Amino acid sequence: MEKLIITAAICGAEVTKKMNPAIPYTVEEIVREAKSAYDAGAAIVHLHVRTDDGVPTQDKARFKECIDAIKAAIPDVIIIPSTGGAVGMSAEERLQPTELFPEMATLDCGTCNFGDTIFENSMPLMRDFGKRMMENNIKPEYECFEMGHLDTALKMINKGQLPGHPIHVNFVLGVLGCTPATIPNLVWMVSALPPGATWCATGIGLTEFPIAAAAIAMGGHVRVGFEDNIFIERRKIAKSNGELVEKVVRIAKELGREIATPDEARRILGLTK
Ligand code: KMH
Ligand code: ZN
Protein backbone atom coordinates (compact mmCIF):
# COMPACT_ATOMS: atom_id res chain seq x y z
CA MET A 1 0.00 0.00 0.00
CA GLU A 2 1.12 3.56 -0.69
CA LYS A 3 1.88 5.81 2.26
CA LEU A 4 -1.12 7.64 3.71
CA ILE A 5 -1.77 11.22 2.59
CA ILE A 6 -3.51 13.21 5.31
CA THR A 7 -5.38 16.34 4.32
CA ALA A 8 -6.31 18.88 6.98
CA ALA A 9 -9.41 20.92 6.17
CA ILE A 10 -8.49 23.54 8.74
CA CYS A 11 -11.22 26.14 8.47
CA GLY A 12 -14.17 25.50 6.15
CA ALA A 13 -16.89 28.05 5.58
CA GLU A 14 -19.59 26.96 7.99
CA VAL A 15 -18.05 26.46 11.44
CA THR A 16 -17.58 29.41 13.81
CA LYS A 17 -15.64 30.35 16.93
CA LYS A 18 -18.90 30.01 18.87
CA MET A 19 -18.80 26.29 18.08
CA ASN A 20 -15.07 25.93 18.74
CA PRO A 21 -12.87 28.93 19.70
CA ALA A 22 -9.93 27.44 17.78
CA ILE A 23 -11.62 27.91 14.38
CA PRO A 24 -9.20 30.16 12.45
CA TYR A 25 -10.34 33.47 10.92
CA THR A 26 -7.28 35.75 10.78
CA VAL A 27 -4.18 35.09 8.68
CA GLU A 28 -2.19 34.36 11.86
CA GLU A 29 -4.82 31.88 13.04
CA ILE A 30 -4.91 30.19 9.63
CA VAL A 31 -1.12 29.76 9.74
CA ARG A 32 -1.27 28.47 13.33
CA GLU A 33 -3.83 25.81 12.37
CA ALA A 34 -2.06 24.84 9.13
CA LYS A 35 1.23 24.42 11.00
CA SER A 36 -0.35 22.40 13.80
CA ALA A 37 -1.79 20.01 11.21
CA TYR A 38 1.46 19.81 9.24
CA ASP A 39 3.55 19.22 12.36
CA ALA A 40 1.21 16.36 13.28
CA GLY A 41 1.58 14.71 9.83
CA ALA A 42 -0.71 16.41 7.30
CA ALA A 43 0.79 16.71 3.80
CA ILE A 44 -2.09 18.79 2.42
CA VAL A 45 -4.04 21.76 3.71
CA HIS A 46 -7.51 22.21 2.20
CA LEU A 47 -8.03 25.93 2.47
CA HIS A 48 -11.03 28.20 2.87
CA VAL A 49 -10.44 31.76 4.03
CA ARG A 50 -12.41 34.26 6.09
CA THR A 51 -12.41 37.93 6.83
CA ASP A 52 -11.01 38.75 10.28
CA ASP A 53 -14.53 38.61 11.71
CA GLY A 54 -15.15 35.12 10.32
CA VAL A 55 -17.20 35.77 7.18
CA PRO A 56 -16.30 33.26 4.42
CA THR A 57 -14.76 34.91 1.36
CA GLN A 58 -13.22 33.76 -1.92
CA ASP A 59 -11.34 37.05 -2.31
CA LYS A 60 -8.20 36.46 -4.36
CA ALA A 61 -6.11 38.88 -2.29
CA ARG A 62 -7.14 37.21 0.98
CA PHE A 63 -6.28 33.78 -0.45
CA LYS A 64 -2.90 35.11 -1.59
CA GLU A 65 -2.17 36.57 1.82
CA CYS A 66 -3.04 33.27 3.55
CA ILE A 67 -1.21 31.05 1.04
CA ASP A 68 1.92 33.22 1.19
CA ALA A 69 1.87 33.18 5.00
CA ILE A 70 1.36 29.38 5.15
CA LYS A 71 4.17 28.85 2.63
CA ALA A 72 6.48 31.10 4.64
CA ALA A 73 5.90 28.91 7.71
CA ILE A 74 5.76 25.48 6.01
CA PRO A 75 7.16 25.82 2.48
CA ASP A 76 6.67 22.25 1.25
CA VAL A 77 3.01 21.74 2.24
CA ILE A 78 0.48 21.18 -0.58
CA ILE A 79 -2.36 23.71 -0.47
CA ILE A 80 -5.72 22.86 -2.05
CA PRO A 81 -7.83 26.03 -2.12
CA SER A 82 -11.59 25.59 -2.18
CA THR A 83 -13.59 26.53 -5.25
CA GLY A 84 -16.70 25.48 -3.35
CA GLY A 85 -16.53 28.49 -1.07
CA ALA A 86 -19.77 28.92 0.84
CA VAL A 87 -23.32 28.14 -0.27
CA GLY A 88 -24.82 31.01 -2.30
CA MET A 89 -21.57 32.37 -3.79
CA SER A 90 -21.44 32.96 -7.55
CA ALA A 91 -19.25 30.86 -9.83
CA GLU A 92 -16.91 33.78 -10.60
CA GLU A 93 -16.53 34.52 -6.90
CA ARG A 94 -15.70 30.89 -6.19
CA LEU A 95 -13.15 30.64 -9.00
CA GLN A 96 -10.91 33.44 -7.70
CA PRO A 97 -8.24 31.21 -6.05
CA THR A 98 -7.62 29.50 -9.43
CA GLU A 99 -6.06 32.80 -10.55
CA LEU A 100 -3.23 32.11 -8.09
CA PHE A 101 -2.24 28.92 -10.00
CA PRO A 102 -2.25 26.47 -7.06
CA GLU A 103 -1.03 22.89 -7.64
CA MET A 104 -4.55 21.63 -6.93
CA ALA A 105 -8.02 23.02 -6.18
CA THR A 106 -11.34 21.43 -5.31
CA LEU A 107 -13.96 20.86 -8.01
CA ASP A 108 -17.41 20.00 -6.67
CA CYS A 109 -19.21 17.45 -8.79
CA GLY A 110 -22.92 18.10 -8.43
CA THR A 111 -25.75 20.05 -6.88
CA CYS A 112 -26.96 18.73 -3.53
CA ASN A 113 -28.82 19.57 -0.38
CA PHE A 114 -26.41 20.90 2.21
CA GLY A 115 -28.31 20.93 5.48
CA ASP A 116 -31.15 23.41 4.97
CA THR A 117 -29.45 25.01 1.96
CA ILE A 118 -28.63 23.97 -1.60
CA PHE A 119 -25.04 23.71 -2.80
CA GLU A 120 -25.22 24.51 -6.52
CA ASN A 121 -22.84 22.81 -8.92
CA SER A 122 -24.65 22.48 -12.26
CA MET A 123 -22.97 20.73 -15.15
CA PRO A 124 -22.33 24.04 -17.00
CA LEU A 125 -20.65 25.35 -13.82
CA MET A 126 -18.55 22.21 -13.61
CA ARG A 127 -17.52 22.63 -17.28
CA ASP A 128 -16.45 26.22 -16.60
CA PHE A 129 -14.45 25.16 -13.54
CA GLY A 130 -12.87 22.27 -15.48
CA LYS A 131 -11.91 24.60 -18.35
CA ARG A 132 -10.30 27.06 -15.95
CA MET A 133 -8.34 24.29 -14.25
CA MET A 134 -7.11 22.92 -17.58
CA GLU A 135 -6.07 26.43 -18.70
CA ASN A 136 -4.26 27.10 -15.41
CA ASN A 137 -2.69 23.61 -15.11
CA ILE A 138 -4.43 22.89 -11.80
CA LYS A 139 -5.15 19.30 -10.78
CA PRO A 140 -8.67 19.06 -9.39
CA GLU A 141 -9.60 17.24 -6.27
CA TYR A 142 -13.05 15.99 -7.34
CA GLU A 143 -15.42 16.42 -4.38
CA CYS A 144 -18.15 13.75 -4.48
CA PHE A 145 -20.94 13.88 -1.93
CA GLU A 146 -23.01 11.34 -3.88
CA MET A 147 -22.45 8.41 -6.26
CA GLY A 148 -24.08 10.47 -9.02
CA HIS A 149 -21.40 13.13 -8.55
CA LEU A 150 -18.65 10.63 -9.33
CA ASP A 151 -20.57 9.32 -12.36
CA THR A 152 -21.06 12.88 -13.65
CA ALA A 153 -17.38 13.70 -13.23
CA LEU A 154 -16.26 10.51 -14.99
CA LYS A 155 -18.57 11.17 -17.95
CA MET A 156 -17.32 14.76 -18.25
CA ILE A 157 -13.70 13.59 -17.99
CA ASN A 158 -14.32 11.09 -20.80
CA LYS A 159 -15.66 13.93 -22.97
CA GLY A 160 -12.56 16.02 -22.22
CA GLN A 161 -14.60 18.63 -20.32
CA LEU A 162 -12.76 18.09 -17.04
CA PRO A 163 -9.07 17.34 -16.40
CA GLY A 164 -8.37 13.63 -16.76
CA HIS A 165 -6.22 10.83 -15.47
CA PRO A 166 -4.69 10.28 -13.03
CA ILE A 167 -7.69 11.65 -11.17
CA HIS A 168 -8.00 12.28 -7.43
CA VAL A 169 -11.40 12.05 -5.74
CA ASN A 170 -12.49 13.03 -2.24
CA PHE A 171 -15.62 11.23 -1.01
CA VAL A 172 -17.40 13.49 1.46
CA LEU A 173 -19.85 11.39 3.46
CA GLY A 174 -22.30 12.47 6.11
CA VAL A 175 -23.36 15.95 4.96
CA LEU A 176 -27.01 16.36 5.98
CA GLY A 177 -29.00 15.77 2.78
CA CYS A 178 -26.30 13.68 1.06
CA THR A 179 -24.90 10.15 1.30
CA PRO A 180 -24.61 8.91 4.91
CA ALA A 181 -21.14 8.22 6.29
CA THR A 182 -21.20 4.43 6.39
CA ILE A 183 -18.48 2.01 5.43
CA PRO A 184 -20.71 0.13 2.90
CA ASN A 185 -21.40 3.47 1.18
CA LEU A 186 -17.67 4.25 1.06
CA VAL A 187 -16.85 0.79 -0.34
CA TRP A 188 -19.58 1.19 -3.00
CA MET A 189 -18.35 4.58 -4.14
CA VAL A 190 -14.69 3.50 -4.21
CA SER A 191 -15.69 0.46 -6.32
CA ALA A 192 -16.85 2.84 -9.09
CA LEU A 193 -13.46 4.53 -9.49
CA PRO A 194 -11.51 3.92 -12.69
CA PRO A 195 -8.13 2.13 -12.49
CA GLY A 196 -5.26 4.41 -11.47
CA ALA A 197 -7.43 6.90 -9.56
CA THR A 198 -6.37 7.98 -6.09
CA TRP A 199 -8.98 8.74 -3.45
CA CYS A 200 -9.51 10.25 -0.07
CA ALA A 201 -12.40 9.90 2.39
CA THR A 202 -14.00 12.51 4.61
CA GLY A 203 -16.57 11.77 7.31
CA ILE A 204 -18.62 14.60 8.76
CA GLY A 205 -18.86 15.01 12.54
CA LEU A 206 -17.60 12.15 14.65
CA THR A 207 -17.90 9.78 11.67
CA GLU A 208 -14.58 11.41 10.72
CA PHE A 209 -12.60 8.75 12.59
CA PRO A 210 -14.37 5.49 11.59
CA ILE A 211 -14.40 6.67 7.97
CA ALA A 212 -10.68 7.51 8.30
CA ALA A 213 -9.96 4.07 9.74
CA ALA A 214 -11.83 2.39 6.86
CA ALA A 215 -10.00 4.48 4.25
CA ILE A 216 -6.64 3.69 5.86
CA ALA A 217 -7.41 -0.05 5.80
CA MET A 218 -8.68 0.12 2.18
CA GLY A 219 -5.60 1.92 0.85
CA GLY A 220 -7.23 5.32 0.40
CA HIS A 221 -6.24 8.64 1.89
CA VAL A 222 -7.88 10.67 4.64
CA ARG A 223 -9.18 14.17 5.29
CA VAL A 224 -9.85 15.49 8.78
CA GLY A 225 -10.16 18.99 10.19
CA PHE A 226 -12.46 21.60 11.66
CA GLU A 227 -14.29 22.05 8.33
CA ASP A 228 -15.78 18.59 8.85
CA ASN A 229 -15.63 17.98 12.58
CA ILE A 230 -14.86 20.08 15.64
CA PHE A 231 -14.73 17.23 18.20
CA ILE A 232 -11.83 15.02 19.25
CA GLU A 233 -14.26 12.64 20.94
CA ARG A 234 -17.91 12.69 22.01
CA ARG A 235 -18.79 16.06 23.67
CA LYS A 236 -15.11 17.14 23.77
CA ILE A 237 -14.10 19.85 21.31
CA ALA A 238 -10.70 19.52 19.64
CA LYS A 239 -8.00 22.00 20.65
CA SER A 240 -6.50 22.24 17.19
CA ASN A 241 -6.48 20.69 13.74
CA GLY A 242 -3.19 19.13 14.83
CA GLU A 243 -5.00 17.18 17.53
CA LEU A 244 -7.37 15.71 14.89
CA VAL A 245 -4.44 14.80 12.62
CA GLU A 246 -2.57 13.20 15.55
CA LYS A 247 -5.52 10.89 16.15
CA VAL A 248 -5.46 9.75 12.50
CA VAL A 249 -1.70 9.20 12.69
CA ARG A 250 -2.21 6.99 15.75
CA ILE A 251 -4.87 4.92 13.94
CA ALA A 252 -2.63 4.62 10.85
CA LYS A 253 0.34 3.50 12.95
CA GLU A 254 -1.79 0.82 14.63
CA LEU A 255 -2.86 -0.40 11.17
CA GLY A 256 0.71 -0.37 9.87
CA ARG A 257 0.30 2.46 7.35
CA GLU A 258 3.13 4.98 7.06
CA ILE A 259 2.44 8.70 6.65
CA ALA A 260 3.37 10.52 3.41
CA THR A 261 5.40 13.72 3.42
CA PRO A 262 4.21 16.47 1.05
CA ASP A 263 6.77 15.44 -1.58
CA GLU A 264 5.73 11.79 -1.28
CA ALA A 265 2.14 12.96 -1.66
CA ARG A 266 3.09 14.89 -4.83
CA ARG A 267 4.51 11.68 -6.30
CA ILE A 268 1.47 9.62 -5.31
CA LEU A 269 -0.91 12.22 -6.77
CA GLY A 270 1.14 12.72 -9.94
CA LEU A 271 1.62 16.43 -9.33
CA THR A 272 4.02 17.95 -11.80
CA LYS A 273 4.29 21.58 -10.72
N1 KMH B 1 -18.47 24.92 1.98
C2 KMH B 1 -19.19 23.99 1.18
C3 KMH B 1 -20.49 24.58 0.70
C4 KMH B 1 -15.16 22.69 -1.33
O5 KMH B 1 -14.35 23.17 -0.53
O6 KMH B 1 -14.93 22.60 -2.54
C7 KMH B 1 -18.43 23.54 -0.01
C8 KMH B 1 -17.09 22.99 0.24
C9 KMH B 1 -16.52 22.20 -0.86
O10 KMH B 1 -16.46 23.16 1.26
ZN1 ZN C 1 -14.08 22.81 1.61
pLDDT digits (tens, 9 = 90+) for 2-33: 999 999 999 999 999 999 999 999 999 999 99
- Upstream peptide bond of 184 is cis (omega within 30 degrees of 0): no
User: How do the domains of the chain map onto residue ranges?
Assistant: 6-269
**Residue 170 in contact with ligand 1 by CB distance below 6 A:** no
- For the chain, give the mean pLDDT: 98
Nearest atom in ligand 1 to the alpha carbon of residue 82 is 5
Angle, vertex CA 73, rays to CA 70 and CA 76, nearest 5: 80
pLDDT digits (tens, 9 = 90+) for 206-231: 999 999 999 999 999 999 999 999 99
Q: Kindly give the pairing relationship between strand 236-237 and strand 231-233.
A: antiparallel
CA of 86 to the centre of ligand 1 (A): 6
CA distances for 223 relative to 91, 116, 170, angstroms: 25, 24, 8
List the residue whose alpha carbon is closest to atom 9 of ligand 1. Answer: 84
Q: 225: closest CA among 205, 250, 200, 195?
A: 205
CATH fold for the domain made of 6-269 = TIM Barrel (3.20.20)
pLDDT at 165: 87
pLDDT of 273 above 80: no
For residues 167-173, give the mean pLDDT: 99
pLDDT digits (tens, 9 = 90+) for 118-139: 999 999 999 999 999 999 999 9
**Residue 87 in contact with ligand 1 by CB distance below 6 A:** yes
For residues 171-190, give the mean pLDDT: 98
CA of 272 to the centre of ligand 2 (A): 23
Share of the chain above pLDDT 70, in %: 100
Among 87, 94, 106, say which to mutate for ligand 1: greatest number of ligand atoms within 8 Å of CB.
106
CA of 113 to the centre of ligand 1 (A): 12
